Amino acid sequence: MRGFRMEITKTLKGGVTVLHLSGRVDTSAVPGLDQAVKEVLAGGARRLLLDLRDVVYISSGGLRILLATAKKLSGCDGRFGLYGLQTEVYKIFRLAGFTSIFSLFASEEDALAAWG
Amino acid sequence: MPPGDELLANQEWQPVPGAPGLRIYPYLRKIDTISSNSFILDGPDLVVCIDPGGLADQADQLAGEIARIREERPRPLLVILTHVHIDHVLQVMYHYAFKGGPGVIIGIQEDGAMAVEGKDARLMIADILGKEPGTVSVGLPLLSAREGLGIRGPTVTLVEGSCILRGERIRCQEIPLGGGESLRAYHTPGHSPDSICLRAGGILFIGDLLFATAPGVAGIRGWNLEDLIRSLDHVGILLGDEGLEVCCPGHGRPFSPATAREVLGKMATEARSLTGIAEVSPAWAKETAAYARTMMEMVNELLTVLSGRLYLVAHVLDELEESGEAERLSGMANPETFDLILSDFHDFSEEYRQGKVLDIHLALKAGQIVQKLHHSFHPKVLSTVTDATLLRRADRILSDYMTRFRGFSVRPELEEVDPGGLVRDVLEHAGRSPWTGEAIIEAAESGERYLEALVSRIAHPPVFEGIRITFTPGDGIPPVTTDTDRFSDLITGILEEFAGRDAEEIRIATSLRGRAIRLTIEARGGRTDGLSDGKKVRFLREECRVLSGELAVATSDGGAVLTITLPVQNRP
């Protein structure tokens, strides 16, 4: 029995695709996240926002997917951002040096406003 | 279910080597704390079941085989225990076929016989494994110290005997099985007071002797170091007998006598280092399980940060079209392996939280996880790239767990330290790459050196950038006797916690309070949610305890204060 299994839902806000993640982005959740991101990008989305408000844990494998996504989107003039990081997740980002390379926002509204 | 091996086929009848009149049916299990291996011996005049185990399904299968061979040729059944730990004896208490009754006699060494008849949950380690002892009537107390006791009833005869091992006369008893075959019992205490080894033909059954020095096993109630060392020696000699072909432990696969002897030799060396270990009791298991969860959360955080930094370095190098170097770095650590191992512990920990597994199981699981991490984690290699203090902390947490899991206390390496100097030293090195800006410029002449410097800089993200940090040393602060590395890491851990929580300012101060120094680290601004009861504070409290100190936490809307109080003279 796994606690806080990750779930992903997708919404569209204007030209921005938002993936809402919840639970633990652990080793068993990483393939699902990878697949969800690939599907979104294969569908032509170039502005991707991840909602991490309900993510309680992210593994290094999850961080790797985020980096790969940032790379793909920067290669095609896209945009990639994250919002709503819980303190424990934010701490990992900060201590690993990810806060300086990702666009982090407090809320979806902030992200959408920043991206015009 | 393991398939058995070339020595004994699992769950199949087969001849006993060196005993033409006997057949054996082994029931071999993977190693766990739920149930032992079991063995049925089919003798001309007697059927013997060694260790019916702890599982009803297992007992059902054994009972079926026993019923079949007794139907073919009616004979009494002797149920005999290598010792009375609950994973060996539970089905003797609850299964209809093994509880005793007409034609069924139960044989247990005298100390074990008294433990089961008195329902001594402690000696049977039933309390620690969460089992309720049932009723057992022992018809045949074996190897009794009291003369005359033990030879009871007409169904089973005991023949007294002895052998000389290492110049010492060792008493044994022989149980005739008919046709000139017999089962010989030797008293081999240590793992428990009632442990015995049994020999039938070319097979020696050694119970749980092989596990007697394992963490979480060494130190259980009834465990005795002196007896264990003597028994390891004696059984080593028994294993050297030329006629012996198979050694059957109480858990897991059989061994060749030579392999078992080698293992026992190493155990004897290990056993000599176990003087003074803690008793493995329910309280010990609870405390160790709680510590396991706390330390594993910290290891998880540190290894995720470490892996994240390595991924970041690889990502940046890739962007700079240095994919060869990126691949080389990826080969230094295997973050996927860390993730898998840590995820395994998390899943187990969830089962623990839901009450599905016991304290002792979580403590044992953590021990396995730490060993796996140790195999995948190479701080020396990684320190050439990333933060040495981060690696040192992760490595030490793993080592500390094994020390506690082994039953020892974690001992700090004490020396006299100037607290002010130590704080300044921490601040000077915290979150900084050993490569300064000037050094990188100098390295630019050599492509290889420049790449090395670049990697190091990316792998040391400026964690404290933008945070105003001040230190106000108190007046008249004396040197303290403490562990420099642990104290430094404690401070670094707190600073990182505040940086990770986006503090705007961190103020550090020292003061003297009687015979203790007080170090306050105050964060202004940033996130304080979950700090006072969070995993980091639980861990830091444990670390302070190792230094004979205390940690106090106060949070407010505007920030948080962590106060460490350490005795000036630390006497562990």
Instruction: State pLDDT tens for residues B120-155.
Output: 999 999 999 999 999 998 988 888 765 444 444 546
- pLDDT tens, residue by residue, B152-172: 454 677 777 777 766 777 778
Residue numbers in B near A98 (CB within 8 A) = 308, 312
Region B250-277: mean pLDDT is 94
Phi-psi region of B36 (alpha: psi -120 to 50; beta: other; left: phi over 0): beta
- Calculate how close chain B gets to A114, using CA atoms only, in Å: 21
Q: Shortest CB distance from B305 goes to which of A27, A64, A92?
A: A92
Are B129 and B33 in contact by the 8 Å Cβ rule? The answer is yes
Q: Does residue B425 fall inside a structural domain?
A: no
B99-105 average pLDDT score: 87
pLDDT (tens digit per residue) in B511-548:
999 899 999 999 999 999 999 888 889 999 999 999 99
pLDDT at B454 over 80: no
Amino acid B145: pLDDT: 64
Which residue segment(s) compose the domain that B116 sits in?
14-271
Which run of H or of E encompasses B364?
Answer: helix B359-376
Query: Structurally, how many domains does chain A consist of?
Result: 1
What per-residue confidence (pLDDT) applies to B313?
86
Q: What DSSP character marks residue B458?
A: H
- The per-residue pLDDT for B143 is 85
* pLDDT tier at B5, thresholds 50, 70, 90: low
- The radius of gyration of chain A from alpha carbons, rounded to an integer in Å, stands at 13
Q: Tell me the whole-structure pTM to 2 decimals.
A: 0.85
The answer to whether position B542 is within a domain reads: no
pLDDT digits (tens, 9 = 90+) for A36-88: 999 999 999 999 999 999 999 999 999 999 999 998 998 888 999 999 999 99
Query: For residue B543, is it within any domain?
Result: no
Angstrom distance (rounded) from CA B358 to CA B129: 7
Tokens read off for B340: 């898998």
Position B267 in a domain: yes
CATH number at residue A14: 3.30.750.24
Q: Which of B305, B346, B347 sits opposite A96 (nearest CB)?
A: B305
**What pLDDT score was predicted for residue B150?**
44
Query: Which of B304, B463, B527 has the CB atom closest to A60's CB atom?
Result: B304
> Is position B481 within any domain?
no
Percentage of chain B exceeding pLDDT 90: 71
Please check whether residue A65 lies inside any domain of the structure: yes
Tell me which chain B residue has its CA closest to the CA of residue A65.
Answer: B311
- Tell me which chain A residues have a C-beta less than 8 angstroms from the C-beta of B467: none
What is residue B170's predicted lDDT score, i.e. its pLDDT?
77
Q: Is B416 left (phi over 0), alpha (psi -120 to 50) or beta?
A: beta
Confidence of residue A2 (pLDDT cuts 50, 70, 90): very low
Mean pLDDT of A19-31: 94
Q: Angle, nearest 10°, between helix axes B56-72 and B86-94?
A: 60
**Per-residue pLDDT reduced to its tens digit, A92-104:** 999 999 998 899 9
Residue A14 has pLDDT above 90, yes or no: no
Instruction: Sort out which chain A residues have CB atoms less than 8 A from B497's CB and list them.
Output: 91
Short-list B393, B293, B428, CA closest to B347: B293
Do B305 and B150 touch, CB atoms closer than 8 A? no
Average pLDDT, chain B: 90
Say what the pLDDT of residue B151 is.
45
Q: What is the pLDDT of residues B383-415, one digit of tens each?
A: 777 788 888 899 999 999 999 998 998 999 999
Q: Is residue B114 part of a domain?
A: yes
Query: Are B304 and A94 a contacting pair at CB < 8 A?
Result: no
Closest CB to A60 among B338, B353, B499: B338
Has residue A21 been placed in a domain?
Answer: yes
pLDDT at B455: 81
CA gap A94, B325 in Å, rounded: 24
The yes-or-no verdict on residue B1 having pLDDT over 50 is no
Percent of chain B at pLDDT > 70 equals 95
What is the pLDDT at residue B458? Answer: 82
Q: Give the residue among B525, B526, B518, B508 at the shortest CA–CA distance from B550.
A: B518
Model confidence at B61, in pLDDT bands (50, 70, 90)? very high
Residue A91: which of B339, B346, B501 has the nearest Cβ? B501
Q: Which pair of structure tokens corresponds to residue B342?
A: 């840590």
Q: In the structure encoding, which two tokens stand for residue A2, read together?
A: 């796994």
Cβ B279 vs Cβ B60: under 8 Å: no
Q: In the prediction, which pLDDT does A1 show?
A: 40
Contacts of A58 in chain B (CB under 8 A): 304
Give the residue with greater pLDDT, A76 vs B63.
B63
Domain contains A2: no
Residue B19 falls inside a structural domain: yes
Q: At a CB cut-off of 8 Å and minimum separation 6, what does B366 contact?
A: B288, B289, B292, B295, B296, B345, B401, B405
Q: Which of B145-149, B204-208, B302-306, B364-368 has the lowest mean pLDDT?
A: B145-149
Question: B168-204, pLDDT tens digit by residue?
Answer: 777 789 999 999 999 999 999 999 999 999 999 999 9
Would you state the pLDDT for residue B572?
52
Q: Which two tokens stand for residue B362?
A: 């979580």
Q: Is A56 contained in some domain?
A: yes
CB proximity B504 to A under 8 Å: no
3-state helix, strand, coil in chain A (%, to 5): 40, 35, 30
Domain span at residue A94 reads: 7-114
Q: Check whether B349 has a pLDDT greater than 90.
A: yes
d(CA B210, CA B136): 27
Q: Tell me the backbone φ, ψ of residue B171, rounded to 5 degrees.
A: -80, 140
B342 in reach of chain A (CB within 8 A): yes
Q: How far is B494 from chain A (nearest CA, A)?
A: 12
Note whether B158 and B141 are within 8 A (CB).
Answer: no
The residue assigned the tokens 């990126």 is B326
Closest-CA distance, A107 to chain B, in angstroms, reads 16
Give the pLDDT confidence score for residue B376 in this predicted structure: 83
Q: What residues does B186 pair with on adjacent strands?
A: B172, B197
Q: Give a yes or no: residue B81 inside a domain.
A: yes
- Given an 8 Å threshold on Cβ–Cβ distance, is A60 in contact with B346? no
Mutation choice for A interface testing from B315, B323, B457, B498 by most A CBs within 10 A: B315
Test A61 with B527 for CB contact under 8 angstroms.
no
Of A3, A88, A95, the CB nearest to B463: A95
**Domain at B216, CATH number:** 3.60.15.10
**Residue A1 within any structural domain of the chain:** no
Question: So what's the pLDDT on residue B571?
Answer: 60
Does the beta-carbon distance from A96 to B308 stay under 8 Å? yes
**Chain length of chain A:** 116
The pLDDT value recorded for residue B2 is 45
Q: Number of structural domains, chain B?
A: 1
